[in-house]
Structure 1
Amino acid sequence: MDHDEFIGQVQNRAGLASRGEATSATRAVLETLGERIGEEEADHVASQLPLEIGRYLDERDHAQQFDYEMFAARVAEKTESSDVEQRPGQTSQAVMSVVSDAVEGGLVRDVVSQLPQSDGYGELMAEAGD
């Protein structure tokens, strides 16, 4: 999947009005995921995404500890879209669904499964296919 297709899929799945909003949402979600997961996991996922998108995972201080509620709050804070600010959880699910489609089978699900499900991280993959 190339950059344009990726952003188009995010725009469609998240119901965003523009490609700019989809780009902002993708950046916000992947930067936040990169902050939460380990560097090795972030590198592995990033290596399978278009370069312009994968870099959002790599440019972070990795392995921070925060729950899903904080994850959603960070996504809302980082975005430039009021639509995303109002529904960061749904937008995060849409982005992760596209990431899941873009990388080798099960990789994203494996990464998310390493996060504490009791904190709500299972919701990140609620929209993703197997």
Structure 2
Amino acid sequence: MREQEIVAAVRDISGLAGADHAADATRATLAVLGIRLAGAEPRNLAAQLPAGIAEALPEAGRGATFGVEEFYRRVADEEGRGCTVDGAREHARAVVAALKAGVPEGEFADLTAQLPDDFADDLLSTAPADERHG
């Protein structure tokens, strides 16, 4: 997928008004996700993404251990723009839906394998981007 396609998918799924805000939400989600993932997984994910979005991911993950609610708080802080935790939840779920539709299935499975159940039950329970609005 191209950067514009990912950002457009995030904008459409989340209901954000502009592409700039959707791009900020995408980068914020990826930045925090990259902290949560361990080892080479952020780099592997970045290799599947356009450069303008991939640069939000760290070269190597720290494998930080925090739950999904802390994840959303960190995404809200990273995104700025007065984003609330509830807003960050919607934005992050939209980013994950776009990733699920846009990266190879194996890479998405590698990413999700590193996340605990509370992420699977909330963040990762999103429908693929092409099924959310239709």
Structure 2 counterpart of 1:125, which letter?
A: L
Q: Distance in 1 between the 2:123 and 2:105 partners?
A: 16
* Alignment of structure 1 residues 43-54 onto 2, 5 Å: 43-54=43-54
Aligned to 1:14: 14
Q: CA deviation at 1:83?
A: 5.4
Aligned to 1:125: 124
Q: CA deviation at 1:60?
A: 6.8
1:45-99 deviations in Å (ceiling 9; x for gaps): 1100001111111257621111111100000111133456542112111101111
Aligned to 1:26: 26
Identity value in percent = 31
- TM-score, length of structure 1 as denominator length: 0.87
| Cα distance change, pair 85–20 in 1 and its aligned pair in 2 (3 A) | farther
Conservation of the 8 A alpha-carbon contact between 1:6 and 1:98: yes
Aligned to 2:132: none
Q: Distance in 2 between the 1:29 and 1:82 partners?
A: 15
Backbone CA RMSD of aligned residues: 2.0
Aligned to 1:66: 66
Unaligned runs of 5+ in 2: 129-134
Residue 105 of structure 1 pairs with residue 105 of structure 2: yes
Q: Distance in 1 between the 2:57 and 2:116 partners?
A: 19
Q: Distance in 2 between the 1:77 and 1:89 partners?
A: 12
Structure 2 counterpart of 1:25, which letter?
A: A
Q: Distance in 2 between the 1:60 and 1:32 partners?
A: 12
| Cα distance change, pair 60–105 in 1 and its aligned pair in 2 (3 A) | closer
Once structures 1 and 2 are overlaid, which stretch shifts more, 83-92 or 40-49? 83-92
Conservation of the 8 A alpha-carbon contact between 2:30 and 2:56: yes
Conservation of the 8 A alpha-carbon contact between 1:112 and 1:124: no
**How many residues of Structure 1 are paired with residues of Structure 2 in the alignment?**
128
Unaligned runs of 5+ in 1: none
Once structures 1 and 2 are overlaid, which stretch shifts more, 32-41 or 105-114? 105-114
Q: CA deviation at 1:111?
A: 1.5
